[in-house]
Amino acid sequence: MPAPSGTMLLNLFNAGVATLLATLVVLYWVRFRGQDPEVYVPAAAWIRAGIYFCCCFLLCWLTGAQAMILQSPFATPAQLGNPAWIVATVGITLLIFIAYWGVWGRYTLRFERRLHLATQLPFGLVWGASAAQVILTVWHVCQTIGPEWPDWQVWIATWFIAGSWHWWFHDFYWDLYVAPEHDTPFSIVLKTALLHIPQTALCTLYLTIFGNVWILIGLQTIALLAAAIFMRLPPWWSTEATPPARHHPFILGLARGGGYLSPDPVNDRYLKAAHSPPRNTVF
């Protein structure tokens, strides 16, 4: 357990997060309740994102994962002298950079949205910290309820639970109500198969083998900083027209974010800029 003063500071911080959460919920209820999903409103999207980020922080705190994170070193002296750890750490960091600052950015639609680093950078930082805390919460809970589990079971459980959550949440909420339209059916399949599933598997495997929670946070932040920047997330005050995410019908009357469908795929300059095939299908 952290020292009493550390516990008090942690509790005060999360009390502030809880207050912020309540404020954002009230603000959203007053200003954006019943907002038309066919109109992208950056301020509403930012509030929705803020509510989710607050929930991630509070969940991590309530499960004890936040205290675990704060007690963990960046790396141990033994790891710093271990060539295998160094190679693994450098290798996975390079892979995340190539995957998200390279491939993800190349196949992302922008619709001529502008670069706003002053807002996209902090958004990406908080987004990365929040996503990492979800993974670390699942990992910490798995270790707590299954102290006899072998490492491979902890890894599989963490990967499956955290990965499933991120898929479900992004497909049915985030990509519909927070992020502006930034994918096509082709890029969704490409990114899922080549980026999202492998990076989640590798990051949770790295975490399970080495236990470097701060590096896990850094890896997720590297990835989601790229996402915030390359999708050209509009600042909350933007009044520029932004295409909303297309709602694709799903079972039981649900909708999912299935990507942009062009009225003229062959001549669509947005598809060309995102290096997507001139069609509205995956293959």
Please, what is the end-to-end C-alpha distance for the chain in angstroms?
53
* Two structure tokens written together for 81: 């002298």
pLDDT for res 4: 56
219 part of a folded domain: yes
* Two structure tokens written together for 172: 């049915």
213 part of a folded domain: yes
| Domain housing 184 | 74-273
Residue 76 has pLDDT above 60, yes or no: yes
pLDDT for res 8: 87
Q: Distance between CA 58 and CA 48 in Å, rounded?
A: 16
42 part of a folded domain: no
The pTM of this model reads 0.93
pLDDT for res 280: 78
128 part of a folded domain: yes
Task: Check: CB of residue 131 under 8 Å from CB of residue 169.
Answer: no
Residue 36 has pLDDT above 90, yes or no: no
Task: Check: CB of residue 74 under 8 Å from CB of residue 210.
Answer: no
**With helix as H, strand as E and coil as C, how does the chain read?**
CCCHHHHHHHHHHHHHHHHHHHHHHHHHHHHHCCCCCCCCCHHHHHHHHHHHHHHHHHHHHHCCHHHHHHHCCCCCHHHHCCHHHHHHHHHHHHHHHHHHHHHHHHCCCCCCCCCCHHHHHHHHHHHHHHHHHHHHHHHHHHHHHCCCCCHHHHHHHHHHHHHHHHHHHHHHHHHHHCCCCCCCHHHHHHHHHHHHHHHHHHHHHHHHHHCCHHHHHHHHHHHHHHHHHHCCCCCCCCCCCCCCCCEEECHHHCEEECCCCCCCHHHCHHHHHCCCCCCCCCC
Domain count for the chain: 1
Residue 3 has pLDDT above 70, yes or no: no
Q: How confident is the model at residue 100 (pLDDT cuts 50, 70, 90)?
A: very high
Residue 24 has pLDDT above 60, yes or no: yes
pLDDT for res 253: 84
101 part of a folded domain: yes
pLDDT for res 123: 98
Q: Distance between CA 99 and CA 97 in Å, rounded?
A: 6
Residue 1 has pLDDT above 60, yes or no: no
88 part of a folded domain: yes
Lowest mean pLDDT among 41-45, 210-214, 239-243: 239-243
Lowest mean pLDDT among 3-17, 69-83, 121-135, 225-239: 3-17
Residue 274 has pLDDT above 90, yes or no: yes
pLDDT mean over 159-167: 94
pLDDT mean over 131-146: 95
Of residues 176 and 147, more confidently modeled: 176
pLDDT mean over 226-255: 92
Measured CA angle at 162 (ends 260, 135), to 5 deg: 115
197 part of a folded domain: yes
37 part of a folded domain: no
Which residue do the tokens 């929930």 mark? 55
Percentage of residues in the chain with pLDDT exceeding 90?
85
Task: Check: CB of residue 12 under 8 Å from CB of residue 61.
Answer: no
pLDDT for res 283: 63
pLDDT for res 37: 81
Q: How far is CA 194 from CA 58, 190, 217, in A?
A: 31, 6, 21
Residue 259 has pLDDT above 60, yes or no: yes
| Residue whose C-alpha is closest to residue 203's, from 100, 67, 276, 58 | 100
